[in-house]
Structure 1
Amino acid sequence: MRFLHTADWHLGRIFYGQYLTEDQAHVLENQFFTILKDEKIDGILLAGDIFDRAVPPIEAIELWDSIITRLAMDYKVPLFVVSGNHDGAERLEVGRSMLSRSGIHIWGSPHHALQPFEFEGADGKVAICPMPFSEPRRIGDALGLGASVSKPVDIDMTEDSLFSYVETEEQEPASLNLHNYDQMYQAWSDYLYKQVPKGMCSIAISHAFVMGGEVGGSERTLSVGGSEQVSPQVFKDFHYTALGHLHGPQRMGADYIRYSGSPLKYSFDEHTQKKSFTIIDMDKKGNVDISTIPVEAKRDVVILEGYFEDLLNNKELQAKHKDDYVQARLLDTMPIMDGMAKLRQVYHRCMTIDLVGRVATPMADMDEAVFKELNERELFNQFAETVWKEPLTEREQQYINSVWDRILKED
């Protein structure tokens, strides 16, 4: 049986003020459907973040509508979808019962993802186990979990030891932390896997931040601190796990647990990533053979470094990247007048200029390399300390944290 694994479409994404809907439509309407036909795909695993925000723009909704309509009416290839942290889960689920009859299976809420879906293909049945993104408390509520479960795997285990962990009957029960992603996703995984009929192949579809994953520049943090991470151990029992959230294609502890990555580059930090669609061939015993097909994007995302006049007069470079999304990293040490306007005459989608040649005055004795490692909250704290000549008080920090949390939820 052959599946296509994809994720993180982020329909309606805005990149430096410009909607990427045209670029997304180019890949989906041309290459995506061509792959379904040419590769004889039996089912599609779409692991979340279909949209870029909970209330997407009309153009994004129309694109999604055209995709699922063509799948159901023309191609008749089943689509298995879980919601991601960017999606509005309840909105994504609108019409889910009716759509399911047409082969479009959508799981947004953990309350609707409590049992495997048995998909019957040409070579037998496969249990599709959906695990859409959800906060731990909602997962616990859906599962009806009490105050204790088997002790979870230690989330600080190294990759080499993750799959050597074996739960035994002698383990002491531990209190269940309803705010812990790792524990709750493990309980959810166990709950689903126990329902898979004996001998049947199984596939998990999940949108989560799996520990050890390489983060790009455009993934949104799921929670404060790193408590959002789940162990690869969570998915070890399934024959294949299709993951979404991290935008770079990568394996997570084993070849059969992997992120497909996003189809497009959504930040300049991703400019070196090789975007692809993942093809999974699964035999009757659940053994998988994995291959990838490179994405053929309409425009690339590139970083061009050099002196301003060199970039402005390099005809070969201009011909190659005239319509790409460009970040210009300028080595010049002197100010440049109307730099963006001049660059856009030859690089039509020059989105930003990074003045790496200018020597900036360090803030609070910190150099640029350190600042690039800070998130928005930490940058604000450094700014506040520099302006007020002292760090935030505990009360001020609590207030600022509440403001950041509200901003993320509203976004």
Structure 2
Amino acid sequence: MKFLHTADWHIGKELGDYSLLEQQKTAFEQTLAIAKDKQVDAILLAGDLYDRSIPPVDAVNTLESMLQKMNIEAKFPIFAVSGNHDGPTRLGAGKKWRENNKFFLRTTLAEAFEPIEFGDTQIFMLPFIDPLEARVYYGISNESNELRTINAVMDRVVADMQANFAPDKQHILVSHYYVAGKQNEDYDLTSETNSKAGGLKSIDVNQFNAFDYVALGHLHLKQASPSETVQYSGSPIKFNTKEAQSEKGVFIVDVNADGVTSEWVPLEPEKDLILLEADFNTLIDPEFYQQYERQGANLFSIKMTDRPAVTDLRSQLNAIYGEIVEIQFKQSQAQSISRANKMTERAEQSNQDLIREFYENVTDARLTDHQAEIIDQTLTRLERQED
């Protein structure tokens, strides 16, 4: 079977105050054209369809139009999961009529153990969930230490999936997590998140050894792929400056009895994101700026190396470059080191750790286990923004 693997569409995302909807529409049209050209059997869509759990109306209309065009008009089956940016309850609405059109979208852990038989494959779909949701599903009491980490959760979840493996089929998993392996151990996670991606520590790639292919979402560059058969397709467009130098695209994955092969197919951005770092006089020098296509041809992120006494700085730069999504001022080396150290310290702490630290500093007392459990539950509801 041949699949197109894509993820992290983040429909509705903005870069600064700039809407990316038109670029997202262009990337979608290219993705659909690739699916047709490569004659794939289905689409694997690995989470973060939206950029927020309650998306704006124009984002909802855009995504619905895309999915209808891909699934109903072009007749491609879709196998998708919700990611940490999606609102699973809202996204999961309309399950019955979607599945009648072979659009399979999983948003709860309970659904993850029900594979879809598709040709010579079984496709499992595991949405983004955290340990608290897993403990609730498995009926584990608050006092128990079971399933407190995402790796412990994944051990149990994968074992329960394997119990439903058909021995004469290939097995595919579509999921949305930070998965670490030898191939991506030096990958810079900051393009999407910190070392506790989506609030969770990394999952060991070896936990997915039972699957023939794992289509991942969450990290936005294909270089984050932890192995040849456990891969991130990355996002279809560039969402921040850390992604500006990287190529975007999709994977075409062929899964058969002889093994798995994948082909990377790049996408061409409607407008590229160009990073400029210079002082003000250089930026307004025609010899400098005329080397770039401007005035609507590209998006620009500018880092100023000086702080000129210019009252209309942005308007002058806008007149030259057109669409500027952000202007930053370069910090001194001492400022950069201090800021980096603070960010590293905070990145190593979960939200629970930060709340615990604050509570202990204010009250001079330790959180009880019951209080910690309430914090976990509250943070989960807030992250999903659906209760």
> In the alignment, which residue of structure 2 is the partner of 1:53?
52
Q: Could you tell me how far 1:351 is from its partner in structure 2?
A: 2.1
> In the alignment, which residue of structure 2 is the partner of 1:32?
31
> In the alignment, which residue of structure 1 is the partner of 2:274?
302
Q: Equivalences for 1:235-246 in 2 at 5 Å?
A: 235-246=208-219
Instruction: Tell me whether 314-323 or 64-73 shows the greater mean CA deviation.
Output: 314-323
Letter paired with 2:232? Y
Q: Indicate if the aligned counterparts of 1:47 and 1:206 stay in contact, CA closer than 8 A.
A: yes
Aligned length: 361
Letter paired with 2:273? V
Query: Please, which of 120, 130, 133 is the counterpart of residue 128 of structure 2?
Result: 133
Q: Equivalences for 1:42-191 in 2 at 5 Å?
A: 42-120=41-119, 125-143=120-138, 177-191=146-160
Q: Could you tell me how far 1:219 is from its partner in structure 2?
A: 2.5
> In the alignment, which residue of structure 2 is the partner of 1:163?
none
Find the residue that maps to 1:261 and give its secondary structure.
coil
Find the residue that maps to 1:250 and give its secondary structure.
helix
* Alpha-carbon distance in structure 2 between the residues aligned to 1:225 and 1:244: 12
CA separation of 1:39/1:143 partners in 2, compared to 1, >3 Å: closer, same or farther? farther
Q: Does 1:195 align with 2:169?
A: no
Find the residue that maps to 2:128 and give its secondary structure.
coil
CA separation of 1:225/1:111 partners in 2, compared to 1, >3 Å: closer, same or farther? closer
TM-score normalised over the length of structure 1: 0.79
Q: Equivalences for 1:276-287 in 2 at 5 Å?
A: 276-285=249-258, 287=259
Letter paired with 1:301? L
Query: Please, which of 301, 316, 326 is the counterpart of residue 352 of structure 1?
Result: 326
Q: Does 1:290 align with 2:262?
A: yes
Q: Which runs of 5+ in 1 are unaligned?
A: 148-174, 382-390
Query: Please, which of 179, 200, 223 is the counterpart of residue 210 of structure 1?
Result: 179
Query: Please, which of 303, 307, 313 is the counterpart of residue 339 of structure 1?
Result: 313
CA separation of 1:377/1:97 partners in 2, compared to 1, >3 Å: closer, same or farther? farther
* Alpha-carbon distance in structure 2 between the residues aligned to 1:224 and 1:72: 30
Q: Could you tell me how far 1:321 is from its partner in structure 2?
A: 7.5
Q: Indicate if the aligned counterparts of 1:143 and 1:188 stay in contact, CA closer than 8 A.
A: no
Superposed CA RMSD in Å reads 3.2
Q: Could you tell me how far 1:93 is from its partner in structure 2?
A: 0.9
Higher percent of residues as helix: 2
Q: Does 1:371 align with 2:344?
A: no
Instruction: Tell me whether 192-201 or 64-73 shows the greater mean CA deviation.
Output: 64-73
Q: Quick one: percent identity of the two aligned structures?
A: 27
Q: Indicate if the aligned counterparts of 1:215 and 1:248 stay in contact, CA closer than 8 A.
A: no
CA separation of 1:145/1:191 partners in 2, compared to 1, >3 Å: closer, same or farther? farther
Instruction: Tell me whether 14-23 or 199-208 shows the greater mean CA deviation.
Output: 14-23
Letter paired with 2:149? N
CA separation of 1:373/1:200 partners in 2, compared to 1, >3 Å: closer, same or farther? farther
* Alpha-carbon distance in structure 2 between the residues aligned to 1:80 and 1:407: 27
> In the alignment, which residue of structure 2 is the partner of 1:249?
222
CA deviation string 1:102-145 (max 9, x = no partner) = 0100000112222211112xxxx201011110111222433457
Instruction: Tell me whether 199-208 or 323-332 shows the greater mean CA deviation.
Output: 323-332
- Flag the structure with more relative contact order, 1 or 2, with Cα contacts below 8 A and sequence separation at least 6: 2
* Alpha-carbon distance in structure 2 between the residues aligned to 1:321 and 1:346: 7
Q: Could you tell me how far 1:240 is from its partner in structure 2?
A: 0.3
> In the alignment, which residue of structure 2 is the partner of 1:319?
293
Query: Please, which of 350, 355, 360 is the counterpart of residue 394 of structure 1?
Result: 360
CA deviation string 1:308-333 (max 9, x = no partner) = 22222234234257542212122336
CA separation of 1:225/1:67 partners in 2, compared to 1, >3 Å: closer, same or farther? closer
* Alpha-carbon distance in structure 2 between the residues aligned to 1:96 and 1:225: 25
Q: Could you tell me how far 1:4 is from its partner in structure 2?
A: 0.5
* Alpha-carbon distance in structure 2 between the residues aligned to 1:407 and 1:101: 33
Instruction: Tell me whether 211-220 or 311-320 shows the greater mean CA deviation.
Output: 211-220
CA deviation string 1:54-88 (max 9, x = no partner) = 11111111112112222232211110000000001
Q: Indicate if the aligned counterparts of 1:4 and 1:278 stay in contact, CA closer than 8 A.
A: yes
TM-score normalised over the length of structure 2: 0.83
* Alpha-carbon distance in structure 2 between the residues aligned to 1:92 and 1:301: 30
Q: Could you tell me how far 1:222 is from its partner in structure 2?
A: 9.3
Q: Indicate if the aligned counterparts of 2:113 and 2:164 stay in contact, CA closer than 8 A.
A: no
Q: Indicate if the aligned counterparts of 1:201 and 1:239 stay in contact, CA closer than 8 A.
A: yes
Q: Could you tell me how far 1:186 is from its partner in structure 2?
A: 2.0
